Structure 1
């Protein structure tokens, strides 16, 4: 994902999960939010207009909610569906954020959202429809432990100044018209 975002040259960049749990047609919703002036737009399964047609397992749903609660408690000030696999950025914002990321695993989304908050960028949460995606590669138990470890790594790196902006790194924040 990092390499793709850093190589993007359009006005906006969007990524989704490789298993297409969020159908490609939903990319338009994310792009519309970015084109409306938001720096970042993320899909949220917790959005009131979202729908879950996939029938996620109880274990996966519970572990996701627990991880989001832990994330909000330890790192991010707001509750978000951090692991929704549909996110979009203004290209300049995406390049700034992903040039600063260090994580390689499934928790990279948390690191990116931490940077969005840290740099005070605008963020829109958009509704999504989650569909059944055969062949998911996520092993909930093992990945959950790695993600919790990575959450604390981001917190430690942030405390040590690893994400501080240099004088030339400032990004022009566009304020959305509907804010």
Structure 2
């Protein structure tokens, strides 16, 4: 029997752009996957659209509704907790609803986790020969600035903490996702800090793999506002102070 994998898809006002056909095609070809959409208090018809879709195949799709918008971090956390509580998945992870990271790329991360001795595999938007990382120069420069700042702040040499594709062994998340995150967009950083506090810095090197993606496409209509970007250094200081 194939190993079962759960994927959390945080959704906020995605009714007009979510590519449900791609999710359906992937699930049809990969019956060992279950996809849990988390509606993060959307003000459009996301809940209606996704609920109707999930009802067609409740074995492979489910919807978790949050009454109010809590931010991507809390939507992801709620989804991971829901999947973990079912105690039927060998691996669980999350992926952005816009599929900037294609589902097949997530599958590669997951297969690496299933085959190896790692406890978590994180996607990385590192451009390399043979890869197709489609990202504007402006966003790449901004991303590299904050990635360097984040890496220095957490004292771990991660190239891309903010890539929205990560997968874990469920037990590895014990003590990591039970408490709410402090920040809306830097929850990935908080996950790493909590992991480092749990197992120690040296163990993180051997238990967590950062794996370059072969494909990633920048999508429009980013949910991160200019105000959110300005807040990143402030949030990093809050995180450092809180987890010190």
TM-score of the two chains, using structure 2 as the length reference:
0.58
Take 1:50 and 1:11, find their aligned partners in 2: how far apart are those partners?
Answer: 30
Gaps of 5+ in 2: 1-75
Of 51, 61, 71, which residue of structure 1 is paired with 2:150? 71
In structure 2, the residue matched to 1:94 is 173
Is the strand fraction higher in 1 or 2?
A: 2
Alignment of 1:155-166 (within 5 A): 155-159=240-244
Aligned CA RMSD, in angstroms, stands at 2.1
Aligned residues: 157
Q: CA, structure 1 residues 50+81, in 2 after alignment: closer, same or farther (shift >3 Å)?
A: farther
Other structure's SS at 2:126 match: coil
- Conservation of the 8 A alpha-carbon contact between 1:14 and 1:30: no
Of 25, 44, 52, which residue of structure 1 is paired with 2:124? 44
Matched, 1:113 2:188: no
Take 1:49 and 1:41, find their aligned partners in 2: how far apart are those partners?
Answer: 21
Take 2:132 and 2:175, find their aligned partners in 1: how far apart are those partners?
Answer: 32
- Conservation of the 8 A alpha-carbon contact between 1:42 and 1:124: yes
Give 1:135 shift: 3.1
- Conservation of the 8 A alpha-carbon contact between 1:42 and 1:86: yes
TM-score of the two chains, using structure 1 as the length reference:
0.77
- Conservation of the 8 A alpha-carbon contact between 1:5 and 1:13: yes
Moved more, 23-32 or 97-106: 97-106
In structure 2, the residue matched to 1:143 is 228
- Conservation of the 8 A alpha-carbon contact between 2:183 and 2:235: no
Q: CA, structure 1 residues 112+49, in 2 after alignment: closer, same or farther (shift >3 Å)?
A: farther
In structure 1, the residue matched to 2:20 is none
RCO higher in 1 or 2 (8 Å CA, sep ≥ 6)?
Answer: 1
Matched, 1:2 2:71: no
Q: CA, structure 1 residues 46+102, in 2 after alignment: closer, same or farther (shift >3 Å)?
A: same
